[in-house]
Structure 1
Amino acid sequence: MLLNSYYLNDFFSLLNLIILIIPVLLSVALLTLLERKVLGFIQFRKGPNLVGPYGILQPFADGLKLFVKENFSPFSASSFLYFFSPILFLFISFLLWGVVPLYKSGLNFCLSLLFVITLSSLSVYGILGAGWASNSKYSLLGSVRAVAQVISYEISFGLILIPLVILVGGWGFNSFLDFQSVGIWIIIPCFPLFLMWYISSLAETNRTPFDLSEGESELVSGYNVEYSGAPFAFFFIGEYANIIFINIVSVLLFLGPVYFFSGSIFWVFFSLINKSLFFIFSFLWVRASFPRVRYDQLMMIMWKNFLPLSISLFIFYFFVVFLFFSFPSYY
């Protein structure tokens, strides 16, 4: 009986994860519309405004067009890896959502942040496989760029999070929420870490000015240049799902619900959505404002600036936390 209950809980956890995919797909569709509207507003043009009221049906028309298009593949491509890579990329993007504490799920375990860091690094295998299997020089260069980019920022990416983990005393998202619910936002004492996290999150999601793996002006379209139809849509959906996910993680880590401002569960959820939308809008604003950096500039930023700075801040916050908890309080 106990064994049946255990399998039943696993079944409902998997069912919750599957149900979560539907609003994620809807959010991706609306994000593409928001991006085109924001870019149009910044560039003094209207953006999509013909398909449906205010162009709201344009993302669904674009998605339908992609999924009904005929799939072409290069004659010399590696067939299995060519079609498996976009599926792997999309699967990892959806699996990351399983640890976000937005709903009741058995995947919300105590090492959820470590799980996110580990799994998000694996998404580069989908890009690498797509670039190599396409048997195109542009695709291969884009995938190699993506691998070098991941190696560059993932080291400082982890070192940025370790001081936060020391501060809250746990690797789970619930630890960050509990810490901020009775105190202040972590962004206030850890603002330098937040700036490095924000810039690294742009590189994590291959967004401008760090979209070196796609580089339209240099690599035509980078690792996905040989893709069309549904496989291209898988890469597209996975990339935009990662944008929404990384911004929700940023809110959970640095701008969680504070006790004095959090009332009902509805207000906490509403606040989380608004903060995430602000960060997503900032991603679009950055895209419209900054040009793509050179490849050597990314290497210099990550290796010569972020890495020593993150190590220095790690040592600083470690001693601050150590000294704070070493001396007993007499009050």
Structure 2
Amino acid sequence: MFELLSQPIDMMREFFLAFGVTGLIIWTVIKILVVTVPLILAVAFYTLFERKIIGWMHVRQGPVYVGRIFGIGLIQPFADVVKLLIKEVIAPANANVFLYRLAPILALAPAFAAWAVVPFEDAVAISDANVGLLYLLAMTSMGVYGIIIAGWASNSKYAMLGAMRSAAQVISYEIAMGFAIVGVIVIAGSMNLSDIVRAQAGSSGLFDWFWLPLLPLFLIYFISGVAETNRAPFDMAEGESEIVAGFHVEYSGSTFAIFFLAEYANM
């Protein structure tokens, strides 16, 4: 599909770049929107899919009433967003209000910035950086700073415990993830994500991908990725049975929604 769009995209790019710096800014904003808007919509349906799976595991239907399209409650994620946005944001007593409100942004920004180097097609990448893989690894590990600040600024023991757990988890699994990526760099001979994609091109489909010759490293990377995104069974940072809700226990309304968006954007 992207190959069919390649020529129109090139024409649009040349049209905007003809206007100099202003056109370059407009073209960059368009590329950012092309990546972020589908990402936000994908997060909405990820939550719906996850809740339906959990409902199936509990022998129940899950979301079904809000938006009875196909009987799956298709509008439920958007109703949840509206609910969170209209709720009041209340900072805890004795909290550092500035850092308390800044922390969700610090967690969200790296999650979105990481997508800047992901090549959907040669002409549809915000930045085709030569060190794209290193940049991606760096961005995915920076979100923990927002989590640590959230735990400290909330002036809550539970939030601080969740933040410390998250920091320890990132430090533990980031090393394994980095070593797993080295194998891909060696085979592809580049850290440019576009070059890595081209190196895996072939007539055999997914059997030409690096996961097959690098299966042990693929498994290490997969497990580390699950741990870094705080999904079960590595959801220690949000252990509800132990520390209520983890690092964002004191967050509500739009600030909690931003943390929620950052978590699923990382996934």
> What range is the shorter-chain TM-score in?
0.7 to 0.9
The 8 Å contact of residues 101 and 255 in structure 2, kept in 1 or not, is answered as yes
The answer to whether residue 58 in structure 2 is matched with residue 43 in structure 1 is yes
Q: In the alignment, which residue of structure 1 is the partner of 2:253?
A: 229
**Alignment counterpart, residue 222 of structure 2, candidates 193, 198, 201:** 198
1:26 Cα offset (Å): 0.8
The 8 Å contact of residues 227 and 234 in structure 2, kept in 1 or not, is answered as yes
Name the SS for the 1:159 alignment partner.
helix
The answer to whether residue 176 in structure 2 is matched with residue 156 in structure 1 is yes
Paired residues for 1:1-331 under 5 Å: 5=20, 8-53=23-68, 54-102=72-120, 104-182=124-202, 184-243=208-267
Cα distance in 2 between the residues matched to 1:210 and 1:115: 24
Cα distance in 2 between the residues matched to 1:219 and 1:140: 10
Moved more, 104-113 or 214-223: 104-113
TM-score (norm 2): 0.86
Cα RMSD of the aligned pairs, angstroms, is 1.7
The 8 Å contact of residues 89 and 126 in structure 1, kept in 2 or not, is answered as yes
Cα distance in 2 between the residues matched to 1:178 and 1:7: 32
Matching residue's letter, 1:28: V
1:6 Cα offset (Å): 5.3
Cα distance in 2 between the residues matched to 1:106 and 1:59: 28
1:84 Cα offset (Å): 0.3
The 8 Å contact of residues 173 and 227 in structure 2, kept in 1 or not, is answered as yes
The C-alpha deviation readout for 1:121-180, integer Å capped at 9, x for no partner, is 111000000000001000001111111111111111111101110011001111221111
Cα distance in 2 between the residues matched to 1:10 and 1:109: 18
Q: Identity, % of aligned pairs? A: 44
1:4 Cα offset (Å): 6.5
Cα distance in 1 between the residues matched to 2:118 and 2:21: 22
Cα distance in 1 between the residues matched to 2:51 and 2:88: 26
The 8 Å contact of residues 118 and 125 in structure 2, kept in 1 or not, is answered as no
The 8 Å contact of residues 68 and 229 in structure 1, kept in 2 or not, is answered as yes
Name the SS for the 1:73 alignment partner.
coil
CA distance 1:16–1:196, change in 2 (3 Å) = same
The 8 Å contact of residues 56 and 62 in structure 2, kept in 1 or not, is answered as yes
TM-score (norm 1): 0.70
The C-alpha deviation readout for 1:181-213, integer Å capped at 9, x for no partner, is 137221111111111111000011111111111
Cα distance in 2 between the residues matched to 1:9 and 1:114: 25
The 8 Å contact of residues 99 and 150 in structure 2, kept in 1 or not, is answered as yes
Name the SS for the 2:20 alignment partner.
helix
Cα distance in 1 between the residues matched to 2:261 and 2:31: 20
The C-alpha deviation readout for 1:88-134, integer Å capped at 9, x for no partner, is 11122111111111152341212111101111111100000000000
1:34 Cα offset (Å): 0.5
Q: How many residues align?
A: 242
User: Unmatched 5+ residue regions in structure 1?
Assistant: 244-331
Cα distance in 1 between the residues matched to 2:196 and 2:35: 22
Name the SS for the 1:182 alignment partner.
coil
